[in-house]
Amino acid sequence: MKKYIEVDVARAMILGDSDKVLPPEKIDLLASLGRILCQDVVADRDLPPADNSAMDGYGLRAADSVAAGTRPLRLPVVADIPAGKPWPGQIAAGEAVRIMTGAPIPDGVDAVVKRELVEEFADAIILKKEVAVGNDIRRAGEDIKAGEIVLVNGTLITPAVVGMLAAVGVPYISVVRKPRVAVLATGDEIVDFGQVPGPGKIRNSNSFSMAALVLQAGGLPQVFPITRDEPSFIRQALLDAVSGSDLVLTSGGVSMGDYDFIQDVIRDLPEAEILFWQVKMKPGKPLLYSQVAATPIIGLPGNPVSTMVSFEQFVRPLMKKMAGFPEAELLPPREMATVLEDLSSPGDRRHYARGIARRDSNGGLTVQSTGLQGSGMLNSMVKGNCLIIQEPAAAGARSGDKVEIEWLGY
C-alpha cells in the first residue's frame, strides 16, 4: 500500500487499474443521450434522397431566366409541388412550377427562385432577375451518402447524434453500459433523512450528494443503508455492495479516528488489495483506494466537502473511463482566472478552494472564493461553481493574480 501520495499519482493509479471499459448494451436511441457509441453506424440511404428545393419558391430553367436580367419575364406555372409529393411531369422551355421546401425537383427544372423574389399570380410568376443553375437546389446525398459510415464507434451521443441515428433509421443502438455505483455512508452519528436527529446526531447528506454526483456523471447509483461504525456491519455491507456493482463508494471511516474501520475491514475481505491511503490534497486527505475481487472501492472522506471534492478528482474521471470516454476527456476543464481577493498559502498539500467564477462582458474570467473553506461546510459547494487550485509550493495569491481553476460538474 502506498501512503500520502500526490493527487496526480493517485488518479493515475485509479485510472490505470481500470482499463476495462464496461460492456455494451443495446438501448433505445433517445435513452442513448450522453453515452458512448459501441458500433459504427452506416447510412442505409442517401440524405436527402433526391435533389430537392431549399426554399418555398418556383422551379424553372436557368437558361430561360437570362432574359429576365434585361426585362421582366412572365412564366406560366404548370404544377404545384408540396414536400413529400413528387411531381412526375416535366417542364418545357418557358415554364415554371410552384415548389415547396424539401419537395423533389422535377425533370427540366435546374434552378429554384424563392417566392420573395418574384411577383406571384395564381397561374404565373413574373421574374425580374437571372437565376443561376443549381440555385437553391439541395443535391441528393449532399448530407449523407448511402453506405457511408456516418457515426464511428466511440462517438459521444449528443442530441445531434440522436437526430442522426433517427435520420438513418436506427431505433436501437449499442452503447457502453452505465456504471453501477454503490453508495454507502458510515457513521454512528449519521441518521436517515426521515428521522429527527437526536443529541449529537446529524442527517446523512453524503449518500445524497454522492448519489447525485453519480447520476450527474452518468452512472446508476445504488444507495445502501447507513452503516454503523462496527466492523461486522461494515463488512457485510461492503460484501453486498461489491457483489452487484462496478464501483463502490463509501463515505467516512477512513481517517485516523478510533472508529474509522473501513481500511481494516477491507483488508480482511477475500481478494482484497489496498492500493493507497491518503492523498496530498486539502480537502480530502484520508482517501482510501482498494480493489476487492476486481471491483474498486473508493473510501471517500466523511466531511461533506471532502467527499464531493474527492469525487470530482477521482470518481468522476473513473466513471467516465468506465463509460468509454476517451482518455483526453476524463478530467474537468481547467482555465486561468483573475482572482479578486488575496488567498493565503495552501501549506504542504494542493488546495482545492471552492470558488465562484464569472465571465465578464469582455470574455475575461474572474474568480473569488466562496468564503470560509472548512471541509464540513457544504455551503461552500452549494455556492461554488469551480475549484481554485493552489499548488503546495506556491505562496498565497494576491488580488489581481492569475490562478488556475477547475470547473465543477464536468
User: Which positions touch Mg ion (CB under 5 A)?
Assistant: 187, 252-253, 302
C-alpha cell at 288: 482510501
What are the CA-CA distances from residue 142 to residues 52, 65, 210 (Å)?
11, 26, 47
Per residue in 45-75, is it b (16+ CB within 10 Å) or e — as a string? ebbbeebbbebbbbbbbbebbeebeeeebeb
Question: How far apart (Å, rounded) are the C-alpha atoms in residues 216 and 210?
Answer: 10
Question: How far apart (Å, rounded) are the C-alpha atoms in residues 260 and 206?
Answer: 16
Tell me the closest approach of the beta carbon of residue 209 to ligand AMP, in angstroms.
8
Sites for ligand AMP among residues 293-332 (CB under 6 A): 301-304
**Main-chain phi, psi angles of 321, to 5 degrees:** -65, -45
Measure CA of the first residue to CA of the last residue in the chain; give whole Å.
30
Please say which residue, 29 or 249, places its beta carbon nearer to ligand AMP: 249
- CA torsion 378→379→381→385, rounded to 10°? 180
Note whether 1 binds ligand AMP by CB under 6 A. no
Question: Could you tell me whether strands 288-292 and 272-279 are parallel, antiparallel, or unpaired per DSSP bridges?
Answer: antiparallel
Tell me the closest approach of the beta carbon of residue 261 to Mg ion, in angstroms.
9
Tell me the closest approach of the beta carbon of residue 357 to ligand AMP, in angstroms.
26
Please say which residue, 109 or 262, places its beta carbon nearer to Mg ion: 262
Tell me the closest approach of the beta carbon of residue 188 to ligand AMP, in angstroms.
9
Note whether 222 binds ligand AMP by CB under 6 A. no
Note whether 230 binds ligand AMP by CB under 6 A. no
Cβ-proximal residue to ligand AMP, closest one: 302
Note whether 377 binds ligand AMP by CB under 6 A. no
Please say which residue, 55 or 297, places its beta carbon nearer to ligand AMP: 297
The SS3 of residue 276 is: strand
**Main-chain phi, psi angles of 206, to 5 degrees:** -65, -40
Question: How far apart (Å, rounded) are the C-alpha atoms in residues 190 and 204?
Answer: 5
Tell me the closest approach of the beta carbon of residue 291 to Mg ion, in angstroms.
23
Tell me the closest approach of the beta carbon of residue 234 to ligand AMP, in angstroms.
11
Please say which residue, 135 or 207, places its beta carbon nearer to ligand AMP: 207
Q: Among residues 205, 222, 366, 368, which is the contact residue for ligand AMP, using CB under 6 A? A: 205
Sites for ligand AMP among residues 184-203 (CB under 6 A): 185, 187, 189-190, 202
| Site of interaction with ligand AMP (CB under 6 A) | 185, 187, 189-190, 202, 204-207, 251-253, 255, 257, 260, 301-304, 376
